[in-house]
Amino acid sequence: AQRVTQPEKLLSVFKGAPVELKCNYSYSGSPELFWYVQYSRQRLQLLLRHISRESIKGFTADLNKGETSFHLKKPFAQEEDSAMYYCALSWGGSEKLVFGKGMKLTVNP
Amino acid sequence: DTGVSQDPRHKITKRGQNVTFRCDPISEHNRLYWYRQTLGQGPEFLTYFQNEAQLEKSRLLSDRFSAERPKGSFSTLEIQRTEQGDSAMYLCASSLLAGGNEQYFGPGTRLTVT
């Protein structure tokens, strides 16, 4: 079955430090990978997806099919990056999303 | 249009009662999804509609759950004979068929079954 694993539940860093939020997936075909973010008291929203290959709010993520990973990175974290981050996978045109359990990022001043 | 809306935002019910939730998607979006999220977990897919057709249902969706989208606009999710295990956040999302699967989420309905 398709699965998304976010191995760490919590990450706490200081402002200006680099961050990497890990995401691994299991799917043998060609997946579509996403990162969703939920800021405090806000709804879940799309941060970025691998097909667009964009940098959003300084975040980037590269799909590594060999390692089945889609890690989210930012070189210099900001306090406003503090949020819950979810990695998600869809495949085969079904469009439904399979989410990881999420990771809470805290950026301290 | 302020995005996906859900009603009610909170619902407390007693075990055995029926509850119904409503989701209003972004107006031009033809796909609508329901997810359920419990504490410490990511959202889990329940079902989705393309226009008024229900195209897929998860095995999580027992026969006590039913979802409809009668006119291809708003959707309802009904849970019959609620159980304590149904306590969760129920999320609705919508997307455009040709929108690259960017799903826009609502604020959710938090259900507590006592």
Listed as own residue / partner, the contacts of A57-65 with beta carbons closer than 8 Å and 24 or more positions apart are A57/A81, A59/A35, A61/A23, A61/A33, A61/A35, A63/A33
Cα separation, B63 vs A55, whole angstroms: 43
Mean pLDDT on B88-105: 88
Residue type, A6: Q
Higher-confidence position of B6 and A92: B6
Among candidates B42, B103, B106 on the partner chain, residue whose Cβ is nearest the Cβ of A100: B42
Average pLDDT, chain A: 93
Contact B41 A101 (CB under 8 A): yes
Contact B40 A46 (CB under 8 A): no
Mean pLDDT on B50-76: 92
Tokens representing residue A88 in the block: 């998600």
Mean pLDDT on B98-112: 89
Task: Quickly list H helices, A1-109.
Answer: none
| 22-41 in chain B: CB under 8 A from chain A | 31, 33, 35, 40-41
Please choose, from the candidates A59, A63, A53, A57, the residue with its C-alpha nearest in 3D space to the C-alpha of residue A88: A63
Percent of chain A with pLDDT over 90: 77
Interface of A with B (CB under 8 A): 4, 32, 43-46, 49, 51-52, 86, 88, 90, 94-102
Give one DSSP letter per residue of B22-62, joined into a string. Answer: EEE--TT--EEEEEEE-TTS--EEEEEEETTEEEEE-TTS-
Nearest-Cα distance to chain B for A86, in Å, is: 7
Please choose, from the candidates B38, B10, B26, the residue with its C-alpha nearest in 3D space to the C-alpha of residue B92: B26
pLDDT of residue B102: 86
Mean pLDDT on A55-59: 91
> Which DSSP symbol is given to A9?
S
Cα separation, A102 vs A20, whole angstroms: 13
Tokens representing residue A104 in the block: 């809470």
In sequence order, the β-bridge partners of residue B48 are B33, B56
Mean pLDDT on A76-101: 92
Please choose, from the candidates A92, A95, A90, A27, the residue with its C-alpha nearest in 3D space to the C-alpha of residue B56: A95
Among candidates A49, A86, A95 on the partner chain, residue whose Cβ is nearest the Cβ of B48: A95
pLDDT of residue A50: 86
Q: Which residues of A touch B93 (CB under 8 A)?
A: 44
> Which DSSP symbol is given to A94?
-
- Does B1 have pLDDT greater than 60? no
pLDDT digits (tens, 9 = 90+) for A3-54: 999 999 999 999 999 999 999 999 888 889 999 999 999 999 999 988 887 8
